[in-house]
């Protein structure tokens, strides 16, 4: 976007990040609406009492998507919540600004995976010290019934997003994603991974911003072809029931581990927008186990494990 490479971004550079995030939100909503073909996003503009606000867009009860939420937020504050300062005590006492686009898509059809993406920018400022800033983000896929070709195409697009920024970027961010989206109390991954990165400021503002944009731009390129391929597949009530059961894992992760959820709630963010990631229908069962050698069992044995989907030894 023609921004000079700077160590510390100014307000004009932050404004460019905001413009990009709003355009990204609009593009993803347009593409998802077109893919659904029936329902449209409803926009809810909100203000945060402590400073800032955002716009939440939600599509509900569509032909393809049971619920799709795409949220932009930009929040300000004088005190960071514990989820931010626990690992970085040097941020204590700084004013902060955080902005990003976060989305979660829950389809009707159990053969269409749930997907998540997030890209964000954070800066903490001090009157007498240099600002602390970084970019973060990523995207990940949570299938209910596994298709290896979908997993491969998802990771191929993730690698394409990373390749201009270094030979090891995809491998590093894939590994980070596998480690992050892991339910420790279940000892299982949330899905088949993708990309995750945080605290990115290496190489200066322009380079870091470009990488974040590439990840944001490639999300819909990775997800929409999978939706197109699977959305018309017939399914049974038993398969739908398994989807609802597996959605419980999604809820568990978002409420117990997800940094964005914790940061939003602890910083006084808008609860409705933060929790739009949760599916509208979900089931839990006591000590349920899939039938041996079933498609449901194969999700656990063949897909819910860190795998080198692209045949790259470095992964």
Q: Is the pLDDT of residue 261 over 70?
A: yes
Q: Which residues are annotated as a binding site for substrate?
A: 102, 118-120, 268-270
* Whether 181 contacts 190, CB under 8 Å: yes
In this prediction, residue 82 has a pLDDT band, given cuts at 50, 70 and 90, of low
Options 2.60.120.260, 3.40.50.10440, 3.40.1500.10, 3.40.50.300; CATH of 11-303: 3.40.1500.10
Of the two residues 285 and 1, the one the predictor is more confident about is 285
Q: Is the pLDDT of residue 239 over 80?
A: yes
Active-site residue numbers? Answer: 116
Q: Which residues are annotated as a binding site for a divalent metal cation?
A: 106, 116, 155, 185
Q: Is the pLDDT of residue 4 over 60?
A: no
Q: Which of 235, 257, 256, 246 is nearest to 279 (CA)?
A: 246
Q: Is the pLDDT of residue 132 over 90?
A: no
Q: Which residues are annotated as a binding site?
A: 102, 106, 116, 118-120, 155, 185, 268-270
What is the share, in percent, of the chain residues with pLDDT greater than 90? 73
CA angle 308, 314, 315 (to 5 degrees): 30
Q: Is the pLDDT of residue 6 over 50?
A: no
What end-to-end distance do the CA atoms of the chain give, in Å? 32
């Amino acid at each position: 976007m023609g921004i000079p490479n700077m160590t510390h971004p100014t307000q004009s550079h932050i404004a460019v990040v905001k413009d990009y995030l709003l355009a990204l939100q609009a593009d993803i909503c347009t593409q998802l609406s077109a893919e659904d073909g029936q329902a449209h996003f409803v926009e809810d503009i909100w203000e945060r009492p402590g400073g800032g606000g955002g716009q939440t867009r939600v599509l509900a009860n569509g032909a393809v998507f049971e619920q799709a939420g795409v949220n932009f937020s930009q929040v300000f504050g004088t005190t960071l919540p514990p989820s931010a300062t626990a690992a970085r005590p040097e941020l204590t006492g700084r004013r902060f600004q955080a902005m990003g686009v976060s989305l979660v898509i829950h389809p009707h059809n159990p053969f269409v995976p749930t997907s998540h993406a997030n890209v964000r920018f954070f800066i903490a400022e001090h009157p007498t010290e240099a600002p602390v800033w970084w970019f973060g983000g990523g995207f990940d896929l949570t299938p209910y019934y596994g298709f290896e070709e979908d997993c491969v195409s998802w990771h191929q697009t993730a690698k394409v997003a990373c390749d201009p920024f270094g030979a090891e970027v995809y491998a590093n961010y894939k590994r980070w994603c596998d480690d992050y989206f892991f339910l420790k109390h279940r000892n299982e991954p949330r899905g088949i991974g993708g990309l995750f990165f945080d605290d990115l400021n290496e190489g200066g503002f322009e380079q870091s911003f470009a990488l974040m944009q590439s990840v944001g731009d490639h999300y819909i390129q990775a997800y929409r072809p999978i939706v197109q391929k699977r959305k018309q597949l017939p399914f049974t009530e038993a398969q739908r029931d398994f989807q609802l059961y597996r959605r419980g894992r999604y809820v568990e992760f978002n409420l117990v581990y997800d940094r964005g959820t914790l940061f939003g709630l602890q910083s006084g963010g808008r609860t409705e927008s933060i929790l739009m990631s949760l599916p509208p229908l979900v089931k839990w069962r006591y000590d349920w186990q899939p039938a041996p050698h079933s498609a449901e069992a194969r999700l656990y044995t063949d897909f819910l494990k860190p795998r080198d989907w692209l045949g790259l030894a470095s992964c």
